[in-house]
């Protein structure tokens, strides 16, 4: 099966975006994939914002992208675009860091007015980085993500069905990836 890098571009320690991603990581793991979580907010700010390509944490993040077969990119939507934190990381990666990879873009936000941020802001950047296949992305309203006191996540049934279908399509695309077929 595939190795999936699950990237949260949220700057918040209590992020619904990150929690949603970890919830989806469990689904991908249950389907047989190895999932590696990366919360961009845990990278040191100085090297991230100062473009210190040689910093060990930045080098490690770059290596995580290189070793992944697929990448899930999750971001909150701010001002009709993906987060600046995510942009900072993407700017530090090699130009074609997503070459040969299957990518699933996900976004969260407070209003359906931001639903097009995936297609008009995030997808072009992912495409320019050489992604082999960008599957259908999905936008989840913040109010459809509930975090319990034990940190477990529940997704509103109306959103969960579509979200599960998108994740399953990503999983299927990974299984059909030419990179994995050549390795198998």
- Per-10-residue mean pLDDT of the chain, 184 residues long, equals 97 94 97 97 96 96 98 95 96 96 97 91 96 94 95 93 96 79 50
The structural domain count of the chain equals 1
Answer yes or no: is 159 within a domain: yes
**For 51, left (φ over 0), alpha (ψ -120 to 50), or beta?**
left
Answer yes or no: is 38 within a domain: yes
> Where are the alpha helices (H) located in the chain, listed in sequence order?
16-30, 45-49, 56-67, 84-92, 117, 123-128, 157-175, 178-183
**CA 72, 169, 183 angle in degrees (round to 5)?**
75
Phi then psi dihedrals of residue 45, to 5 deg: -60, -40
Q: At what angle do helices 157-175 and 16-30 cross, to 10 degrees?
A: 50
Q: pLDDT at position 176, please? A: 84
Dihedral angle sign, alpha carbons of residues 56, 60, 62, 63: positive
CATH code of the domain containing 31 = 3.40.50.360
Q: pLDDT at position 180, please? A: 53
HEC string of 46-75? HHHHCCCCCCHHHHHHHHHHHHCCEEEEEE
State how far the Cα of 53 lies from the Cα of 150, in Å rounded to an integer.
37
Structure tokens at 96: 């074609």
**Under 8 Å between Cβ of 57 and 47:** yes
Closest CA to 70 of 95, 33, 41, 107: 33
Q: pLDDT at position 179, please? A: 55
Answer yes or no: is 183 within a domain: no
CB-based contacts of 128: which residues, under 8 Å, 6+ apart? none
Q: Which domain holds residue 46?
A: 3-177
Q: pLDDT at position 181, please? A: 46
If you ran DSSP here, which 8-state letter would residue 101 be given? -
Answer yes or no: is 182 within a domain: no
Answer yes or no: is 139 within a domain: yes
Answer yes or no: is 23 within a domain: yes
């Amino acid at each position: 099966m595939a190795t999936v890098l699950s990237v949260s571009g949220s700057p918040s320690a209590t992020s619904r975006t990150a929690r949603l991603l970890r919830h989806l990581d469990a689904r991908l793991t249950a389907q047989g994939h190895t999932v590696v979580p990366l919360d961009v907010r845990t990278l040191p700010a100085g090297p991230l914002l100062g473009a210190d390509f040689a910093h060990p944490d930045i080098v490690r993040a770059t290596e995580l992208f290189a070793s992944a077969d697929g990448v899930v990119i999750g971001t909150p939507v701010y001002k009709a675009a993906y987060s600046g934190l995510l942009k900072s990381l993407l700017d530090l990666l090699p130009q074609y860091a997503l070459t040969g990879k299957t990518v699933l873009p996900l976004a969260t936000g407070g209003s359906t007015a931001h639903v097009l941020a995936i297609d008009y802001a995030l997808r072009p950047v992912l495409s320019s980085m050489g992604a082999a296949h960008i599957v259908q992305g999905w936008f989840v309203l913040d109010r459809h993500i509930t975090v319990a006191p034990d940190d477990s996540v529940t997704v509103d049934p109306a959103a969960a069905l579509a979200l599960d279908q998108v994740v399953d399509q990503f999983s299927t695309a990974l299984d059909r990836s030419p990179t994995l077929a050549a390795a198998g």
